[in-house]
């Protein structure tokens, strides 16, 4: 009887495996010419439990401050299932960049 109770507790714990966001690469360098770059979002789940099917869906939203008009993202929000990758493209308008470093 004790073993069955422990198994149920473990399974209930695993129902709550939270998503873990990984972003690759963490930084984009557009250099002097490029206007389009991409990064990947990945819902890894907790490393220990990533093979399980009950990792929660990751909801994401990318917020660009209103005063930054030179950057655009066609896809600003969405959902990532367990181990799913989302490719996000970042587009910059060089005509709207100011001289110097833009962040």
* Average pLDDT along the chain: 76
Query: What is the pLDDT, as a whole number, of residue 101?
Result: 73
Q: Using an 8 Å Cβ cutoff, are 19 and 45 in contact? A: yes
How confident is the model over 59-82, as a mean pLDDT?
85
Architecture of the CATH domain 2-96: Sandwich (2.60)
Query: Would you list the domain boundaries of the chain?
Result: 2-96
Calpha distance 32→67 (Å, rounded): 22
Q: What predicted TM-score, i.e. pTM, was given to this entire model?
A: 0.71
Residue 35 pLDDT level (bands cut at 50, 70, 90): very high
Q: What's the half-sphere exposure (Cβ side, CA atoms, 13 Å) at 29?
A: 1
Position with higher pLDDT, 95 vs 83? 95
CB atoms within 10 A of CB 67: 5
């Amino acid at each position: 009887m004790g073993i069955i109770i422990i198994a149920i507790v473990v399974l209930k714990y695993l129902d709550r495996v939270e998503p873990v966001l990984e972003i690759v690469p963490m930084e984009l360098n557009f250099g002097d010419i490029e206007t389009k770059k991409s990064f990947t979002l990945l819902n890894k789940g907790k490393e220990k439990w990533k093979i399980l099917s009950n990792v929660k869906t990751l909801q994401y939203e990318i917020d660009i401050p209103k005063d930054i008009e030179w950057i655009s993202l066609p896809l600003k929000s969405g959902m990532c299932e367990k181990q799913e990758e989302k490719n996000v493209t970042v587009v910059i308008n060089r005509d709207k960049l100011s001289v110097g470093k833009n962040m």
